[in-house]
Amino acid sequence: MITVIFACVHNAGRSQMAAAFFNQLADPTRARGVSAGTQPGERVHPEVLDAMREVGIDLAGVKPQKLTAKMVAECRWLMTMGCGDECPIAPFFVQKRDWPLEDPKGKPVERVREIRDDVRARVAVFIAENGWGGAE
């Protein structure tokens, strides 16, 4: 089982969307997505909850969690989204990729939708590149 961590600062927006889309689109017998943050917030941003509900994904029960060095050491991929130098150093066997995505916090719903759709497109390409598709 391949584990992909999607990480951002507060684990309340981009990384939550990415993990949710990943787990919706990827074959669950081959890969799973986890989200975490370097400074986790109290809850997922309300505007993110609304935008994700529009596409049938309910994140209301999800709580942001801390990204730890142990989590990184146990994954195959670390996908960062704005956490920069705050992300733990990834061991040599962990592949790392940065997606420069805008933080949706406090943005108008139209912009949050654009960010959401960008995240979904990136996740779909990433899954296809690695041959993990099949769950949709």
Q: In this predicted model, what pLDDT tens digit does every residue of 43-72 receive, in sequence order? A: 999 999 999 999 999 999 999 999 998 998
136 or 130, greater pLDDT: 130
Asked if pLDDT for residue 134 goes beyond 80, the answer is: no
Q: Which domains does the chain have, with CATH numbers?
A: 2-130 (3.40.50.2300)
CA–CA distance, 80 with 101 (Å, rounded to integer): 9
Helical residues (DSSP H) of 1-136, grouped into ranges? 14-25, 46-53, 69-73, 109-130
**What is the average pLDDT across 88-100?**
82
